Structure 1
Amino acid sequence: MKKIVVPILVFALVGFGLTSPGLTDTDREMAIKELTKTHKHLKHTVKGLSNQQMNFKPSPESWSVAECVEHLAISENAFHGMLQAALKTPADPSKRDSVKLTDQQLLGIITDRSKKVKTREEFEPKGKIGSFQEVLKAFDSKRKEHIMYVKNTEDDLRNHYGQLPFGTIDGLQIIIFMSGHTERHVKQMEEVIAHTDFPKE
């Protein structure tokens, strides 16, 4: 009887996926919710803006709404590259202690507009992607790709890692940071739109 029980137990463990952790349902749902929410917020914010409104700049050194969207399209691709680089190394649970920030702390840091950070030159909007609609389409396509990836992946994202200036984050936090980065710049767009000199139409 014992000889039968052990193989059945092993089969059950494999069958329920305990040997391949992947993402928890909670983590998956949270990441999809964040990505979808900020995607919708962006699209809602720019909907119906005229060409004059999209290109209005409160000051010479400020970004317009169009430039913010271009920066997001560039960054979405960069975050994709960061995630792919993290996945090239084997999952390593022994490095979990190097991740010091919770998901909420990470979101708090990136969405806090009171702390301004100058972006690197390669992330600056320079009109190379195309028209505003082409830029928005590029962002939209990449964001949908990321949402689909999170919905379907079996990658153990919590045990892959990336580096940001303030420390190590895990693979899922790369995705969360990407979403928070979108929210940060949508807030920037809303500041531009709220400016007293923003064109009426």
Structure 2
Amino acid sequence: MKKLIFPLVILLLFSFSKDSGTNLDKNDREWIMKHLTETREHMKQVLDGLSDEQLDYKPDPTSWSIAENVEHLALTEKMFVETLHKSVAEGPKPELKDSLVFKDDQIMPMIADRSQKVKTAEPFEPSGQYGSTEETLAALLAIRQELMDYVENTDDDLRNRYATLPFGTVDAAQLIVFIAGHMERHVLQMEEVMEDEDFPEM
């Protein structure tokens, strides 16, 4: 009898250490990866070939330059990824399912909408802390790659993990798409800078 108890205990411990929810759905994984990939590539396309003068140009003293947008993205993306991992570590919270404030197809348009201007919190204001724009971009792309690697390989039930953002509750899958949308928002802001009539030619 004693011989049976030890294997049974190991089996129970293993069972409870696994995610008690379902694994990340294939369609959700593809949906998330699509937005992470497309927004990263859009940003790289916009930044490609820009000179230091172009990166540092500001349409007016209150506007951010393209370089400052890149730094803001590096700061916020790091924070968002930490929020994601915290929500996963806290475990399933099925009681929050009815608290979601957006449907999936509303996430990207909502965050990318540049008609709604939002002032960022002080910790996410650009201050040059990463060094050059090249170093800042490298840090940002490393954070994004870490996130994409996680999404590609995780079995976590992201639909049963939740985070509270300033506008309300999202599940972890929506949070990652929110991260992608936040990048798109600032890439659009970079394009607005480039459209200014005084933007340097080179």
Shared fold (TM-score, shorter chain, > 0.5): yes
**What are the ranges of 5 or more consecutive residues in structure 1 without an aligned counterpart?**
1-13
Q: Counterpart of 1:42?
A: 43
Q: How does 1:86-101 map to 2 (within 5 A)?
A: 86-101=87-102
Distance 1:61 1:114, change over 3 A: same
Distance 2:161 2:135 in 1: 33
TM-score by length of 2: 0.89
Q: Displacement of 1:155 after TM fit?
A: 0.6
Residue identity in the other structure for 2:116: K
Q: Displacement of 1:85 after TM fit?
A: 1.5
Q: Counterpart of 1:143?
A: 144
Q: Displacement of 1:90 after TM fit?
A: 1.8
Residue identity in the other structure for 1:50: S
Q: Counterpart of 2:162?
A: 161
The count of residues paired between Structure 1 and Structure 2 equals 186
TM-score by length of 1: 0.89
Residue identity in the other structure for 2:149: M
Q: Displacement of 1:88 after TM fit?
A: 2.0
Q: Displacement of 1:111 after TM fit?
A: 0.4
- Does residue 190 of structure 2 align to residue 184 of structure 1? no
Q: Counterpart of 1:10?
A: none
Distance 2:91 2:52 in 1: 47
Q: Displacement of 1:92 after TM fit?
A: 2.2
Distance 2:104 2:70 in 1: 24
**Structure 1 segments of 4 or more deviating over 2 A?**
none
Residue identity in the other structure for 1:160: R
Percent identical: 48
Partner SS for 1:173: helix
Q: How does 1:74-113 map to 2 (within 5 A)?
A: 74-113=75-114
Q: Displacement of 1:104 after TM fit?
A: 1.6
Distance 2:128 2:104 in 1: 33
Distance 1:37 1:185 in 2: 14
Q: Deviations over 1:47-97 (max 9, x none)?
A: 000000000000000000000000001111000111111112121223211
**What are the ranges of 5 or more consecutive residues in structure 2 without an aligned counterpart?**
1-14
Q: Counterpart of 1:7?
A: none
Aligned 8 A contact 2:21 2:160 in 1:
no
Partner SS for 1:169: strand
